[in-house]
Chains A and B, each alone.
Chain A
Amino acid sequence: MIEGQPLLKVSDFSVCSPVGAFLSKLDFSLHAGEVVLLKGANGSGKSTFLRYLFQLLNSVGGQQGVSNIETSKLKEFSYLPQTLNREFFIPMTLAEVAELNACTLLEEDLKLSKLLPSNLRSKLWNVSSGGEKQRSLLVQSLLPACQLYVLDEPFNHLDEEAVELLVEVILHRVRSKGASFLIATHTLPKGFQDKDVSVKSLFMGGAA
Chain B
Amino acid sequence: MELLSGEVTLNYLDIYLPNILAALAAAVALAILGSMLAARSESLQAFVASQSAALGITIGLLVLIFTVGMEHGMIMLPTIFAFIFSVSVYLVTQKLCERHRVVATEILVAAFLLIIAINYLFTAAIPSLEQHFSIAFMGDIATASGASSYWLFAVSLLSVFFFILNYRRLVFQSFWIASSGIVMFPVLKLCFYLVASLLIVESTRLFGFLFTSASLLCLPLGASIGTKSLKGFSLSLPLLAIVSTSLGFGLSLKFQNLSTSATIVVMQVLVSALFVFKNNLRS
Contact B232 A101 (CB under 8 A): no
A21 an interface residue at 8 Å Cβ cutoff? no
Residue-wise, chain B 163-187 has the 8 Å CB interface mask toward A (1 for contact) of 0000011011011101110111011
> Whole-angstrom distance between the alpha carbons of A97 and B231 in the complex?
12
Q: A58-B186, A60-B187 are in contact. Are A89 and B172 (CB under 8 A)?
A: no
Greatest chain B CB density within 10 A among A59, A82, A83, A89 is at A89
Residues A97 and B228 in contact, CB atoms below 8 Å apart: no
In the assembly, what is the distance between CA of A82 and CA of B180, in Å?
A: 7
* Residues in chain A near residue B171, CB distance under 8 A: 90, 100
A103 nearest CB across to chain B (Å): 10
Contacts of B184 in A (CB 8 A): 58
Say whether B228 contacts A91, CB under 8 Å: yes
- In this assembly, does B229 line the interface, its C-beta being within 8 Å of a C-beta of chain A? yes
The answer to whether A100 touches B175 (Cβ under 8 A) is: yes
Asked if A16 is at the interface (CB within 8 A of a chain B CB), the reply is: no
B259 within 8 A of partner (CB): no
In the complex, the answer to whether B233 meets A59 with C-beta atoms within 8 Å is no
- Is B35's CB within 8 Å of the partner chain A? yes
Q: Which residues of B contact A88 (CB under 8 A)?
A: 39, 175, 178-179
The 0/1 profile, CB within 8 Å of B marked 1, for residues 101-121 of chain A is: 110000000000000000000
Q: B232's contact among A54, A91, A102, by CB below 8 Å, is which?
A: A91
Say whether, besides A90-B39, A101-B172, A102-B169, A83 and B230 are in contact (CB < 8 Å).
Answer: no
Query: Chain A 169-198 against B: per-residue CB contact (8 Å), 1 yes, 0 no?
Result: 000000000000000000000000000000
The answer to whether A81 touches B175, judged by C-beta atoms less than 8 angstroms apart, is: no
Given contacts A84-B179, A124-B228, contact A90 B186 (CB under 8 A): no
Total interface residues on B, CB under 8 Å, equals 28
Contacts of A86 in B (CB 8 A): 178-179
Chain B residues within 8 Å of A124, by CB: 228-229
Q: B234: nearest residue on chain A (CB-CB)?
A: A90
B176 touching A81 by the CB < 8 A rule?
yes
Given contact pairs A90-B233, A91-B224, A91-B227, A100 touches B182 in the complex (Cβ within 8 A): no
Contact of A81 with B186 in the complex, beta carbons under 8 Å: no
Q: Which residue of A lies closest to B180 (CB)?
A: A81
Query: By the criterion CB–CB under 8 Å, are B178 and A89 in contact?
Result: yes
- Interface size of A in residues (CB-CB distance below 8 Å): 23
Name the residue on A nearest B174 (C-beta). A90
Contact B39 A91 (CB under 8 A): no
Tell me the smallest distance from the CB of A120 to a CB of chain B, in Å. Answer: 14
B106 CB → nearest A CB, Å: 20
Given A59-B186, A100-B168: A89 touches B38 (CB 8 Å cut-off): yes
Residue A96 interfacial (CB < 8 Å): yes
- A124 CA to B231 CA in the complex, in Å? 12
Given contacts A60-B186, A91-B224, contact A96 B230 (CB under 8 A): yes
Per-position binary interface string of chain B over residues 213-257, scored 1 when its CB falls under 8 Å from any chain A CB and 0 otherwise: 000000010001001111111000000000000000000000000
Q: Which of A51, A89, A102 contacts B168 (CB 8 A)?
A: A102
CB pair B229–A96 under 8 Å, yes or no, is yes
Residues 32-44 of A, flagged 1 when their CB comes within 8 A of B and 0 if not, give 0000000000000
Q: Are A51 and B182 in contact (CB under 8 A)?
A: yes
Chain B residues near A83 (CB-CB < 8 A): 179-180
Could you mark each residue 137-150 of chain B with 1 if its beta carbon is under 8 Å from any beta carbon of chain A, else 0?
Answer: 00000000000000
A149 to chain B, nearest CB (A): 15
Contacting pair B182 A54 (CB below 8 A): yes
Complex contact A91–B229 (CB within 8 A)? yes
Q: In whole Å, how far is A97's beta carbon from the nearest beta carbon of chain B? A: 7
CB-nearest residue of chain A relative to B173? A100
A-B contact pairs, 15 of them (CB 8 A): A54-B182, A59-B186, A60-B186, A60-B187, A81-B176, A84-B180, A86-B178, A88-B179, A89-B39, A90-B35, A90-B233, A91-B233, A92-B175, A93-B230, A100-B168
Other CB < 8 Å A-B pairs besides A81-B179, A90-B224, A100-B175, 11 of them?
Answer: A58-B184, A60-B186, A81-B182, A83-B179, A89-B39, A90-B171, A91-B228, A91-B232, A96-B230, A102-B168, A102-B172
Give 10 nearest A-B pairs by CB, closest first: A89-B39, A81-B180, A83-B179, A96-B230, A100-B172, A89-B38, A92-B230, A81-B182, A90-B39, A93-B229
**A-binding residues in B (CB < 8 A):** 35, 38-39, 41, 168-169, 171-172, 174-176, 178-180, 182-184, 186-187, 220, 224, 227-233
